[in-house]
């Protein structure tokens, strides 16, 4: 039984976070980076107990969890390195020019304030309690209150202990990090609507993310909700590529579609191509590949029930043909692929809804015009993939221009599952895939979500933050009168 954290307890945690924010705000990027590296050390030091606990709670294979644990520690380290560099302070200095009656104006970014992070179920390490949202918020200078996902409470508690112990080690205020448990939706609403919470990070369903976004918008002082809410991640197979490698593409597609029992937010749920012999070959190969996929346990009962329900709804739509499926087993994700034509897909919004699990739709188009129609009709996506040759790209410039406006990550071949934790990654896209397409939840740039700029005009050097002082004690890159450098300023202090 999961303990339900009381509102009185939550109120206390928020008060502690607000007080801790004043302390964290005074830390430098170097100090926060040191903390983040210490968290990474503790995550790496966790033994088999963490892996076996997570395996028991989620049914995820030990090999997958081992890799995810390494990724999680790596996230803390890579974000720490980025934070330490000062890149997210965006320090700007415009020196005074008395002869032109121009003031000395200096600007940098500070943390927004206490942040609520909602743990995700499909990544119990990397997107949950000690995941990238928590790491990037602390790196930005924000205390974090985590609402643990009820699907893996013991795993969540173990990761929470890592951060709590690091807070103690550094002698920082306890309110820097809090861990809240419970299954009630009221907890999420209460946290999001509390006047002392300044931002929310969420990964999960559209309904959950949109509810939090709406609650935050109704506040007297609205706050940002950075919600990643899912995507159908369409694959557009263009003609030359399909003609050259239909069978190989089918194997690649099915492997990605069913990876992790289809429980990835970048699962390629829709495959779109023009009718013809090559597409027939692809479909035949998909049938064969699906038969080789054994049903496997899903993360938890809620996800299984949702998958079963939404798969059934999609399969029973008019104009749909099941072309491949595996035997259904209770509690397990049984793969299936259906087929429909372009006009049915365009006119039936149900077919454009995400089915979270190993389920795909093949959409057959009569001509290029229908490919364009589908691209125009698409809602915002995390990813869109072009299975194409270079000649295909030359011949489909109109299609590609439209798709650029529809996603956060546009792939040239390959499949979208597998999100690299690097600066160049954009894991976020136009609504409804996320609530704010300007930001990513993966990669060091995730820190940008939790900062805001503040300017200091004509302030004495001794009272400026370290990031803006003349002597540049942190040795970070700053923009001084339009030029980026890490040099100290040889000015008279005032």
- Can you say whether the dihedral through the CA atoms of 402, 440, 380, 296 is positive or negative? positive
Contact in structure between 371 and 274 (CB atoms under 8 Å): yes
Q: What are phi and psi of 362, to 5 degrees?
A: -100, 125
Q: Which of 483, 494, 487, 484 is nearest to 471 (CA)?
A: 487
Q: What are phi and psi of 252, to 5 degrees?
A: -65, -40
> Which tokens belong to 423?
């600066």
- Alpha-carbon distance values, 181 to 42, 151, 156, 293, 363 (Å): 22, 11, 9, 36, 42
Contact in structure between 293 and 335 (CB atoms under 8 Å): yes
> Which tokens belong to 438?
């300007």
Residues designated catalytic = 228, 265
SS3 of 474, please? coil
Q: Which residue has the tokens 């009569």?
A: 366
SS3 percent helix, strand, coil of the chain, rounded to 5, is: 45, 20, 35
Going by C-beta distance under 8 Å and a sequence separation of 6 or more, which residues neighbour residue 339? 283, 320, 321, 322, 323, 361, 362, 363, 364
């Amino acid at each position: 039984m999961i303990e339900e954290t009381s509102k009185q307890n939550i109120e206390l945690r928020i008060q502690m976070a607000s007080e801790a924010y004043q302390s964290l705000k005074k830390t430098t990027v170097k100090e926060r980076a040191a903390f983040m590296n210490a968290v990474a050390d503790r995550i790496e030091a966790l033994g088999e107990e963490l892996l076996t606990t997570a395996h028991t709670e989620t049914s995820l294979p030990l090999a997958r969890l081992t890799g995810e644990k390494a990724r999680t520690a790596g996230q803390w380290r890579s974000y720490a390195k980025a934070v330490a560099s000062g890149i997210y302070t965006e320090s700007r200095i415009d020196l005074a020019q008395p002869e032109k009656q121009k003031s000395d104006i200096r600007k940098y970014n500070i943390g927004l304030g206490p942040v609520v992070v909602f743990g995700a179920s499909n990544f119990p390490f990397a997107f949950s309690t000690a995941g990238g949202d928590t790491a990037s918020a602390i790196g930005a200078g924000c205390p974090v209150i985590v609402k643990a996902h009820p699907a893996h409470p013991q795993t969540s508690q173990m990761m929470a202990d890592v951060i709590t112990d690091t807070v103690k080690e550094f002698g920082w205020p306890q309110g820097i990090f809090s861990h809240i448990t419970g299954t009630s939706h009221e907890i999420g609403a209460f946290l999001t609507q509390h006047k002392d919470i300044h931002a929310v990070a969420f990964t999960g369903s559209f309904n959950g993310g949109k509810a939090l976004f709406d609650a935050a918008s109704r506040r007297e002082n609205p706050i940002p909700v950075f919600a990643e809410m899912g995507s159908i991640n369409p694959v557009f197979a263009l003609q030359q590529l399909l003609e050259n490698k239909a069978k190989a593409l089918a194997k690649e597609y099915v492997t990605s579609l069913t990876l992790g029992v289809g429980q990835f937010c970048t699962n390629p749920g829709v495959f779109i191509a023009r009718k013809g012999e090559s597409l027939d070959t692809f479909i035949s190969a998909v049938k064969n590949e699906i038969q080789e996929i054994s049903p496997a346990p899903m993360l938890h009962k809620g996800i299984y029930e949702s998958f079963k329900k939404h798969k059934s709804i999609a399969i029973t739509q008019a104009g749909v043909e099941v072309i491949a499926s595996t035997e259904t087993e209770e509690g397990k994700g049984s793969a299936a692929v259906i087929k429909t034509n372009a006009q049915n897909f365009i006119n039936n919004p149900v077919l454009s809804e995400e089915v979270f699990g190993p389920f795909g739709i093949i959409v057959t188009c009569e001509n290029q015009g229908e490919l364009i129609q589908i691209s125009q009709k698409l809602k915002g996506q995390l990813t869109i993939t072009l299975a194409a040759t270079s000649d295909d790209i030359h011949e489909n410039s109109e299609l590609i221009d439209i798709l650029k406006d529809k996603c956060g990550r546009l792939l040239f071949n390959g499949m979208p599952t597998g999100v690299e934790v690097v600066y160049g990654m954009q894991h976020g896209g136009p609504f409804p895939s996320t609530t704010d397409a300007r930001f990513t939840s993966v990669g060091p740039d995730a820190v940008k979500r939790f900062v805001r700029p503040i300017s200091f005009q004509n302030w004495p050097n001794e009272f400026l933050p370290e990031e803006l002082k003349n002597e540049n004690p942190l040795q970070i890159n700053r923009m001084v009168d339009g030029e980026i450098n890490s040099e100290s300023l040889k000015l008279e202090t005032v």
